[in-house]
Structure formats: structure tokens, C-alpha cells
Amino acid sequence: MELLSSKFVFDGDKLLKDKTIAIHNNIVKDVSSKKILEKVYSLKAKDFGEGVLLPGFVNLHTHLELSHLKNKLPQKKGFVEWLSSIMYEKTKDVDSKKIAEHIENAVKTQFKSGVRIVADISNTLASCEYLKKYIPYSTVFFEQYGLKKEKACSAAKNLEENLNNYKKRCGQLKLIPTAHSLYSTHSCLIEHLAGLNKKEPFSIHFLESRFERDFLISKGGMFDFLNSLGLIEETMNYTDVFDYIKKLGISKRKTIFVHCTYANKNELENIKETGSTVCLCLRSNEYISGKLPDIRTIIKSGVNIGIGTDSLASNWDLDFINELKFIHNNLNDVNPSLIFKWATANGAKALGLNLGFKKNQTAFAVFMPSDDNSPLEEILSGEGEI
């Protein structure tokens, strides 16, 4: 058992003053005054002093294995150009040691910026080794894609045959097979993935660009681009995006809908109804197209909101505090406590975890110094780097 105290504690929901936490193996046993807990447990509290104690941040969306692509992809040229560039980068033969080095540095950046749970999207599982070592409470979404039916169906079969081996490779991390997006993945593969384990969360890139809605009626810039590569075998005609989501079985899972840049009120309502989550990756949206989602409408919808940095292929850095600062700068009328809630308890909720400094919750002791009486505001102040 350990007693932890600091001038302020953010419990995943609210900022509290003069509280001490009794914690054992990352499970909160008690929250009270220092005087009482020191007496009850006959222990001296470790006092961090001026600043705020947090239960740890949850980076709800990143692709650590793309960390070697920093500064390699075009900024603000729009989604189709970015997509075409990343597809080209992925054809290059890159030294696996170099990739691993960049992943390790990216994981260390996560830890240094207070992240204690990562939801990493991975095609290669190369991040598992480093997440196991530094951030072992993380989830790895083993992402599958493929538009051509034959490739998509063989990915489903391969996964079925080898899933236990993949899980072994990831050790104590949670490994969950998932789909990349509606525009990159054939329906037979998405349906297969969504049907695998309904108790586990699912994750999918969703309405990230204005081209995605058009893609579902087989038109627009992204459809034309993918068609020109010979990847489209069938046309679609879904004028209601959620009709397709329902048909695929995604709405039966608590899903992390990543980006939602172009999600409308109806779609947000559907996401909320299924107990799913919107994951904001604002700097990634800024990097790729300079267009952010309508965050106020997302807040108003009452849907669960989490925060991700996305990858170094579409962000300037993976520092989680810089991500929060960017959100704060774009939403300076929103109480910083709400942004910290998205960044902690709400992100964890999307992963089925109960994170915070309340009794029986999971928590990590992340301390951020601040001599201000509004420490959350102070942490979020300043430009952040973009």
C-alpha cells in the first residue's frame, strides 16, 4: 500500500484539493485527508507538493509503427493526397531496426507526457515489444484492411488461424483485431472482424474526410483515386452511413469511432446510443486537411469523447500534453476539467477500463507540477507545438 498526496488531485472527473490516495497495485483503496489515511494505514504519505496528481492519460488512437514517417507526408494538402503519399511510403523497404528505434522513442514520449494506457493501431504488431515494456496496460488493435474481396477474405482466414500466436506475441497487452475504415476494407472482412468478440471494444477510422460519405455511394475524389488503382471491384449505394455500419455488425460492438470530422447529429446520436465513443485527433485533422470536426456539436450530443494523437505520419509530435493544449486553444470556453476527463476516465471507458482516483478504480500516479491555483488551466496554457 502507498499513500500519495499533492496539493490537487484530478480524480478523472473533478479537481479536488487536499486529498490523499491510498493505492495498492494500481487499484485505489481509499481517498481521504492525509491525516486520516496516515492514521488508518500507519504509513507516511508521499507528498508531491505543489501541483496535480492524475490517474494517467489514455492516448486512444495512435499508430506507433508509423513513427519513422515524421515529416515525410504532405501537410494541409487534403486527404486524398495524404492517402496517396502514405500508400507510397508503405511500399518502401525500411530497415526494421530503424522502425523499432522510432517506435521505442515514441513509446517513451507517451510515458513522459503522462500516458499510461495506449490504444495503438497496428498492422505489424511491431509496437507490442515496447508497449509491454513501458506501458503494459495498453490495448493493441490489430488492424486489417483490403478492398479486394479475395485479399480481404484471406486476411480473415489468416487471422482465424493465427490469432492465438499473435496474442502470445503481445503478452499481457490486450490484442483486438479490428478494421481500418469503411473505405479501405471489404465488407466481408469488416463483418468478420466485428463479429469476433462482441464483449471487446472495436475501433475504426470514421468520416475522417469529406470523401468518405461519397465513397459509400461510389463517387468522389477518394473513390476515383482507389478506383484508378484498380482496387474497387463492387459499387455501393449507402446514402445513410449508419445503415452500412449496422449491416456490418459494427453497431453491436462498443466502438471507438476515430475522427468523426464529418459526422452529423444523426450519426453522433447513433454512436451515443450504442455506448460507443468519438475519438478526437484534432492535430491530425489539422495536419492533413486543416479542417477540424464540429467539436461543440459532438459535446452537445452527449457521446463519450476520448483523445488520440494519431501517428507521426499526420502529427508534428506525439506529446499528449501538446495534443491537449491544441484542444484547449480551440475550445477555450470549455472547462479544462472536461478536457482532462476526456483524456483520462473517458478514454479508459472506451476501452472497457475504469480509470480514476475513486475507490476500486485503476489509477497510475502521474504528477504534474504547478504553483497555480488553477493547475489544469496552467498545464493547458501556452501554444503547444504544431
CB of 293 to Zn ion, least distance (A): 14
Q: What is the dihedral of CA 268, 269, 272, 276, to 10 degrees?
A: -50
Nearer to Zn ion, 212 or 310 (CB): 310
Nearer to Zn ion, 286 or 310 (CB): 310
User: Considering only CA atoms, which of 276, 333, 283 is closest in space to residue 313?
Assistant: 283
* Residue whose C-alpha cell reads 490537487 in the numeric block: 8
Three cell numbers, residue 103: 517506435
CB of 341 to Zn ion, least distance (A): 22
Nearer to Zn ion, 6 or 84 (CB): 84
Nearer to Zn ion, 11 or 323 (CB): 323
CB contact at 8 A, 4 and 364: no
Residue span binding Zn ion (CB under 5 A) among the ranges 48-56, 91-99, 126-134, 305-313: 305-313
CB of 169 to Zn ion, least distance (A): 22
CB contact at 8 A, 4 and 20: yes
Residue span binding Zn ion (CB under 5 A) among the ranges 106-114, 290-298, 309-317, 334-342: 309-317
CB contact at 8 A, 315 and 283: yes
Nearer to Zn ion, 292 or 338 (CB): 292
Site string for Zn ion, 253-292 (x = CB under 5 A): ----------------------------------------
Residue span binding Zn ion (CB under 5 A) among the ranges 3-11, 161-169, 289-297, 302-310: 302-310
Three cell numbers, residue 218: 461510389
Cβ neighbors of 179 (< 8 A, separation 6 or more) are 143, 144, 145, 185, 189, 190, 193, 194, 202, 204
For CA atoms 196, 202, 207, 209, give the dihedral sign: negative
Residue span binding Zn ion (CB under 5 A) among the ranges 106-114, 156-164, 310-318, 340-348: 310-318
User: Are β-strands 15-24 and 27-32 bridged in parallel, bridged antiparallel, or unpaired?
Assistant: antiparallel
DSSP state of 130: H
Nearer to Zn ion, 3 or 103 (CB): 103
Nearer to Zn ion, 65 or 310 (CB): 310
Q: Is 198 helix (H, G, I), strand (E, B) or coil?
A: coil
Instruction: Tell me which residues in 24-53 interact with Zn ion (CB under 5 A).
Output: none
CB of 295 to Zn ion, least distance (A): 18
CB of 139 to Zn ion, least distance (A): 14
Q: Looking at beta carbons, which residue is closest to Zn ion?
A: 310
Nearer to Zn ion, 310 or 323 (CB): 310
CB contact at 8 A, 323 and 61: no
How far apart (Å, rounded) are the C-alpha atoms in residues 242 and 24? 43
Q: What is the dihedral of CA 243, 245, 250, 253, to 10 degrees?
A: -70
With CB under 5 A as the rule, give the number of residues binding Zn ion. Answer: 1
CB of 127 to Zn ion, least distance (A): 13
CB of 258 to Zn ion, least distance (A): 6
Q: What are phi and psi of 207, to 5 degrees?
A: 45, 50
Nearer to Zn ion, 267 or 310 (CB): 310
CB of 300 to Zn ion, least distance (A): 25
CB contact at 8 A, 174 and 139: yes
Three cell numbers, residue 133: 515494456
CB of 146 to Zn ion, least distance (A): 17
CB of 314 to Zn ion, least distance (A): 7
Residue span binding Zn ion (CB under 5 A) among the ranges 51-59, 87-95, 108-116, 303-311: 303-311
User: Considering only CA atoms, which of 211, 216, 215 is closest in space to residue 259?
Assistant: 211
Nearer to Zn ion, 119 or 324 (CB): 119
Q: Which residues bind Zn ion (CB under 5 A)?
A: 310
